[in-house]
Amino acid sequence: MKIRGHGTSTLRNKSRSKSAVIKTVIRLEHRVWRVAQQRRAKEFEKLVPPDAVMIFQSGIILQPQYLATMNERTISGYEIRSMRGFMPNATTVILYYEARRHGEQGGKAFPSSPVIECTTWIKRGKRWVAILNQETPIGGE
């Protein structure tokens, strides 16, 4: 009787498959930034669903609140560095990276210090959606 295990090529294919999924989700994360900057609410809503939670330096905000205040927020520019991700399971991708935002909300400038962003994406049906985003300040103002 011969027992089969995972061959090296099977593990490599799984690794490549995970890598491809993570690259796809990284592209989606960049798209979230673009559509937020351009205030394209409909496209934002496709990427960030109504039950999504965003934890910003200014507090916790749900997607409907974010959309309602989108026109009060001006993202004049942003920088993203060292974006990485991992898949704890087949339907979850967690991204983390450094970001710096330029702009203002309600007449008040965004904090100038960089933040570590962490976004959890889940697969719903055939689409990936960002369900949780948290920013953690690094360095002082």
Residues 6 or more apart whose Cβ sits within 8 Å of residue 3: none
* Residue type at position 61: I
Full-model pTM = 0.86
State whether the Cα torsion 28-94-63-34 is positive or negative: negative
Give the Cα separation of 3 and 18 in Å (integer).
26
Give the per-residue pLDDT at 10. Answer: 62
pLDDT at 106: 83
Please, which pLDDT band fits residue 11 given cuts at 50, 70 and 90? low
User: Domain 8-137: which CATH class?
Assistant: alpha beta
Q: What is the pLDDT of residues 72-129, one digit of tens each?
A: 999 999 999 999 999 999 999 999 999 999 999 888 898 888 999 999 999 999 999 9
State the pLDDT at residue 2: 47
Mean pLDDT of 36-49: 97
What percentage of the chain carries pLDDT values higher than 90? Answer: 77
Q: Quote the pLDDT of residue 5.
A: 52
Assign 20 to helix, strand or coil.
helix
Where exactly are the structural domains of the chain? Answer: 8-137
